[in-house]
Chains A and B, each alone.
Chain A
Amino acid sequence: MQRTTHRPRLLARPVVVALAAAVALTASACTKSEDDASDDKRSSTAAADTEQKVVTPKPGSKSCTIDAYGAEKIDLKNATVGFSQSEKEANPFRIAETQSLKDEAGKRGVKLLTANAQSQFSKQISDVQDLLAKGADLLVIAPLNSDGWEPVLRAAAAKKVPIVTIDRKINATPCKDYVSFIASDFVEQGRRAADQMIEATGGKGEVAILLGAAGNNVTTERTKGFKERIAEKAPDLKVVFEQTGDFAREKGQQVTEQLIQSKPGIKGVYAENDEMGLGAVAALKGAGKKAGAVKIVTVDGTRNAVQGIVDGWISGVVESNPRFGPLAFQTLDAFTKGEEVPQDVIIEDGAYTGDNAKQDIGKAY
């Protein structure tokens, strides 16, 4: 039987398109956000002392040379460097990371090609292949995943293009499939957060952990380091609560609200990133707690979190420095000149506490 037909109005499509266009126009025009004084400060962050420093490599740690890798010497000044970013630049870490590479390339006068995988691994693979096709002589990759890089590595090897990976590792053979891995030591970050927590709480009482997203190596390692150090140094400090805040501020706020309801005696909260820590601050404010009543220690070192220390809500922030530019280019420069470079470059991260927060807030990203 004939059902009543809908006459698709051909008008509808142009209307939708027009609507979208109108939305885009109104959006870009005449916006007026709050006057945010910190905006001005942001632009002046390229202070020299924010550069990453390398942890002095232990004697006997492995290194790599251009001969061992099998590439040809080139002058970095005339080279094209490709950079593949993993996640979209929607959080301070990624924004600072990409910006740092761009700044350093600009400073050295090196041509930089960039691509962003938008958190899709398949896109990252094709991004890197594109960079190779566009003539990148050297690659800097911030990998989304650790595995699944064989096709890209093979393509790079065929073109003898050296690769440096930053912030996450690729599961492959160093000095054969890639040159160096430059990153923070997340376990160490956890340990240092534990040190700050012990100091803030006096090493006694119950503390909670706001975990990062599940199934993420950052979460696992920051948790591991924290717990290890607590067990080792302050057996009277008990971790009584571990719930995920998915690295997001709102989730951190919600979980902390539940926490302070059910465990009013909690003394400290270790948030595995700044955003969750700031969510915890919002929860404490909402519950009418006073600044410093519950000690909060976070990892990352964003401006908002450091401001939190200045305001007295956060006890300490362990830095996870995203400014890989100088170190990555330094490594590439040395390598292409034929010098020996270490296979694992571990960054020395800074820390913010009540003592240095005020003067060092300019270093935060």
Chain B
Amino acid sequence: MTETALRTAPFDKTRVLAWLQSYGVYAGVAMLLIVNTVITPHFLTAENFRTQAVQVAPVVIVALGMALVIGTEGVDLSVGAVMALAASVTALYLGYGLLPALLVVAVFAAGAGLANGALVAFVGVQPIVATLALMVGGRGIALVLLPQLQDLHNPALASLGSGAVAGIPYLILIAAALALLIAFVVRRTTFGRQLLAIGDSRPAAQLAGLPVRRVLVVVYVVCALLAAVAGVLATARLQASDPTSLGNLMELSAITAVVVGGTPLTGGRISIGGTVAGAVLIQLLTATLIKHDLPPSWTQIAQAIVIVCAVYAARGRGKR
């Protein structure tokens, strides 16, 4: 009986909200670009766009992983801690050269993701609780490994952080490549389809014979690896490993980007384009307020307003 209502339910308001949820973030980005072009001096310069893109790149990379996890109806609070861990490990093993250090970072990150994934998929702990453990513990480990900020002088690392190809910094290229890769995985691969099905209805996915646990573990590992990539890039840019403050509150920025981008927290749907746009939106908003030297508290309030709008738009479609 309820099918009738569902088939006929979309009255106008829901439609507007649905549109807002899917495309509101792009409209928001467009609006900020236009406003800034008009009111902000030196906004329309290549240099400025490069700055914004370089600053947003780590957030985008972390948010990509977060989008996958949220697509499975989960959440990963440990991404900031994994970034810090990546920073520490990079500093500790950089003596062997950049590549070996990165391999060790990957091993650590995979371990962190495996721990998260195993807790969620096998032990059945709620994602928010499972990843909370590593959010606290991960940074702890990072600080044990490297108790305080350390400057890094490796030239390869430095060029990773500030080098460019044809005027486009590596950071931006890497973030763009990863975004395309993740979008491709979500749309075109078996894994992506299975991930969405699991996020939408886990019992149904289980009865349909999907490898639910394997997919969940892989998702958390991928999320941790992406966070580690972001951690290494941020470290490379700073040319210092700062496990104390690197990635602080990154989990919130990433979740905000994902949600503002139109990916529902209830799982089953992932918008990679929206996620990237969500991160860009927050970045532009912050940049606008900073450039006009408005009090920092305004940034927080503005972010809160964007989140409320996103959640409001999502609410109309929350129930299926």
Contacts and interface: CB of A to CB of B under 8 A. Distances in A.
Interface of A: 3-4, 6, 8-9, 11-13, 15-16, 19-20, 22-24, 26-27, 31-36, 88-92, 95, 211, 214, 240-244, 246-251, 253-255, 257-259, 261-262, 264, 275, 278-279, 282, 285-287, 304
B303 interface: no
Interface in B268-298: 287, 290-293, 296-297
B290 to A, nearest CB: 5
A4 B212 CA distance: 12
Interface stretch (B150-158, B179-187, B190-198, B259-267): B150-158
B189 interface: no
Given A6-B124, A250-B234, A32 B245 contact: no
A34 B148 contact: no
Contacts of A23: 108, 111, 141
Contacts of B206: 4
23 contacts: A4-B207, A8-B124, A9-B123, A12-B122, A19-B111, A19-B115, A27-B89, A32-B94, A32-B96, A33-B93, A34-B154, A35-B95, A214-B296, A214-B297, A249-B242, A250-B245, A257-B54, A261-B45, A262-B291, A275-B149, A278-B240, A282-B240, A286-B162
B55 interface: yes
Given A8-B123, A12-B118, A20-B115, A251 B293 contact: no
Contacts of A15: 118
Nearest to B157: A34
B92 interface: yes
Contacts of A243: 290, 293, 296
Contacts of B239: 282
B145 interface: yes
Contacts of B292: 262
Nearest to A261: B48
Interface in B78-103: 89, 91-96
Contacts of A22: 111
A34 B94 contact: yes
B38 to A, nearest CB: 14
B13 interface: no
Given A34-B153, A89-B147, A262-B291, A250 B118 contact: no
Interface residues of B, number: 62
Contacts of A9: 122-123
B293 A240 contact: yes
A249 B234 contact: no
Contact of B203 (A3, A26, A36, A257): A3
A32 B145 contact: no
A356 B96 CA distance: 37
A101 B151 CA distance: 26
Contact of A31 (B40, B93, B203, B297): B93
A261 B122 contact: no
A15 B123 CA distance: 11
Interface in B234-258: 234, 237-240, 242-246, 248
6 closest residue pairs by CB, A with B: A32-B95, A248-B245, A262-B291, A12-B122, A31-B92, A244-B296
A249 B238 contact: yes
B122 A88 contact: no
Contacts of B296: 211, 214, 243-244
A32 B92 contact: yes
A33 B94 contact: yes
A323 to B, nearest CB: 17
Question: Which of the listed residues A11, A27, A279 has the most CB atoms from chain B within 10 Å of its own CB?
Answer: A27
Nearest to A88: B143
Contacts of B93: 31-33
B128 to A, nearest CB: 17
Interface in B161-210: 162, 203, 206-207
A261 B237 contact: no
Given A246-B245, A258-B290, A262-B291, A33 B150 contact: yes
